[in-house]
Structure 1
């Protein structure tokens, strides 16, 4: 992943150079392209590449945030880039921008409105989830496994109800149950209740969650905020690292 990101960064570096591939056998590199290639080799000394030439992108490139994700736009050539940009020191500038955006948007979350799952004092995670999302169900199995290992977390849960047709009804069923945590775990384990519970408080919570999802720009599930950092999808390695770093720490 790190190497491919450097390749993307290199492509961005030389995007506007009117060059030809060095080994294309057609035309030699222009002076500007030759200089760009020299800078690429000099700046990213660990990068090995077999070809060098013009990218399809032209003109300036701008950074934007969409659904909590950093994207890049080249208006002159009408290109959208989903990329990770690294500086010459190997720092992931895209990740830094994404984390800064996540911390800013956390102000839109009313933590008092969350469905709390897990013991007080455990490392805290903000989780946007959908009962019918298979990756959310896989994440639930991961949390249960960690709990069995003595590594529980406290999850502040918000339901995303606009992706799957039954998500809102199942979320309301969980919220209207006498034991919400047990019902949550049962539904995410694949339980199919013969009748879904309904109640005003549950419906209102689902509606408030939908508004929070809109404000946060959450567009996929699961989406997590871990120590102010956005984690899109079930990224097991990142969560393992978080739990390892959280040993002995208590949530505020």
Structure 2
């Protein structure tokens, strides 16, 4: 029994070392072949035997263990008669892992579902969606905002969003700024840059971008009825 335990420990160590070696090999191969992209992470997807490479500002790649072949796009699992989008599930996990304390949340009193919205205060369609927040709340949909200043870190929208998140009343100031009011400059430790980078990593290209409870990423504005239908209400 003890010898079997030692064998399993040794096998686990060898397997782990092999994965780390493959990850390093794939990272090196991708950097040489795709120098225009910054490789965010390379992780082993045990069920498929492929490695998932997240390209910052680029596609998700699924790479063979020798780093010689890859496909770009979503990875699907055939589960009986259903297809499950493994890539979208991974995206949802990253967004859901964000602490709600770092978001600006408009909570429904009788919450049935929530959506997570990547927003920019200078975006017209984001303002349209924000006007719909009371109606969405009445439908039982909580709206959770994370920041995605489209012009990037250090831009005018970025600085406004830092001031909003660092204010004494972020919910009120988010509404005011989206209506065109100027916010006094506020500074503090804030999540704006991290949220922007997360958005790029999960495929956000514009705002608003809405992450549904099932992990689907919807680009652009949807009217209340259509959005509620997408949520399943």
Could you state the TM-score of these two structures normalised by the residue count of structure 1? Answer: 0.50
Structure 2: 5+ residue runs without aligned partners?
1-51
Flag structure 1 segments of 5+ consecutive residues without an equivalent: 1-62, 246-252
1:119-198 equivalences under 5 Å are 119=108, 121-122=110-111, 123-147=113-137, 150-161=138-149, 163=151, 165-189=155-179, 191-193=180-182, 196-198=183-185
Which stretch of the first structure deviates more once superposed, 225-234 or 103-112? Answer: 103-112
The answer to whether 1:230 aligns with 2:230 is: no
* 1:45 aligned residue: none
Q: For residues 102-137 of structure 1, give each alpha carbon's deviation from its aligned partner in whole angstroms, at most 9, with x where no partner exists.
A: 234236422232222234552322222111122322
Larger radius of gyration: 1
Matched, 1:106 2:89: no
Give distance in 2, aligned partners of 1:238 and 1:215: 26
| CA contact 1:132–1:167 (8 Å) conserved in 2 | yes
Q: Name the SS of the counterpart of 1:155 in structure 2.
A: strand
SS at match of 2:129: helix
Separation in 1, partners of 2:105, 2:173: 13
Which of the residues 221, 224, 228 maps onto 1:240? 228
Q: In 2 relative to 1, CA 81–102 (structure 1 residues): closer, same or farther, beyond 3 Å?
A: closer
Any idea what the Cα deviations from partners look like across 1:152-197, whole Å, max 9, x if unmatched? 53222221235263212221332344433222122223x232xx32
Counterparts in 2 of 1:97 and 1:243: CA distance versus 1, 3 Å:
closer
Q: CA deviation at 1:83?
A: 9.4
Is contact 1:102–1:228 with CA below 8 Å preserved after alignment?
Answer: no
- Per the alignment, do residues 84 and 97 of structure 1 end up closer, same or farther by CA in structure 2, a change over 3 Å counting? closer
RMSD: 4.0
User: Which SS does the other structure have where 2:144 is aligned?
Assistant: strand
Aligned equivalents of 1:134, 1:155: Cα separation in 2: 18
The alpha carbon displacement at 1:90 in A equals 9.7
| 1:213 matched residue in structure 2 | 196
Q: Deviations over 1:192-245 (max 9, x none)?
A: 32xx322233xx22xx23113324514432222221413232252762214552
Query: Which stretches of structure 1, 4 residues or longer, exceed 6 Å deviation after superposition?
Result: 80-85, 89-93
Q: Give me the whole-angstrom Cα distance separating, in 1, the residues matched to 2:210 and 2:197.
A: 15
Q: 1:152 to 1:176 in 2, by over 3 A?
A: farther
Report the 3-state secondary structure (helix = DSSP H, G, I; strand = E; otherwise coil) of the residue aligned with 1:232: strand
In 1, Cα distance between equivalents of 2:229 and 2:88: 17
| Conservation of the 8 A alpha-carbon contact between 1:108 and 1:215 | no
